[in-house]
Amino acid sequence: MAKIKPSKGAPYARILGVGGYRPTRVVPNEVILETIDSSDEWIRSRSGIETRHWANDEETVAAMSVEASGKAIADAGITASQIGAVVVSTVSHFKQTPAVATEIADKLGTDKAAAFDISAGCAGFGYGLTLAKGMIVEGSAEYVLVIGVERLSDLTDLEDRATAFLFGDGAGAVVVGPSKEPAIGPTVWGSEGDKSETIKQTVPWTDYRDGEVAKFPAITQEGQAVFRWAVFEMAKVAQQALDAAGISSADLDVFIPHQANERIIDSMVKTLKLPESVTVARDVRTTGNTSAASIPLAMERLLATGEAKSGDTALVIGFGAGLVYAATVVTLP
Would the CA dihedral through 230, 41, 168, 156 be positive or negative? positive
Dihedral through CA 18, CA 59, CA 103, CA 71, nearest 10?
Answer: -20
190 - beta bridge partners?
325
The closest of 267, 289, 247, 256 to 92, measured between CA atoms, is 289
Catalytic residue among 29, 93, 122, 261: 122
87 - beta bridge partners?
116, 146
**At a CB cut-off of 8 Å and minimum separation 6, what does 29 contact?**
40, 43, 44, 49, 50, 51, 165
**At a CB cut-off of 8 Å and minimum separation 6, what does 200 contact?**
219, 220, 221, 321
SS3 breakdown of the chain: % helix, strand, coil, rounded to 5? Answer: 40, 25, 35
167 - beta bridge partners?
289
Catalytic residue among 29, 53, 258, 261: 258
DSSP of 234-268, one letter per residue? HHHHHHHHHHHHT--GGG-SEEEE--S-HHHHHHH
Active site residue 289: yes
The closest of 191, 199, 174 to 326, measured between CA atoms, is 191
Q: What CA–CA distances, in Å, run from 203 to 35, 151, 167, 176?
A: 21, 18, 18, 36
Judge whether 114 and 316 are in contact, CB under 8 Å. Answer: no
CB atoms within 10 A of CB 215: 11
Give dist(CA 23, CA 297) in Å, integer: 12
β strands within the chain, DSSP E? 12-21, 25-28, 51-54, 85-89, 114-118, 144-151, 169-179, 188-191, 199-201, 219-221, 254-257, 279-280, 313-320, 324-331
Query: Which residues are the active-site residues?
Result: 122, 258, 289
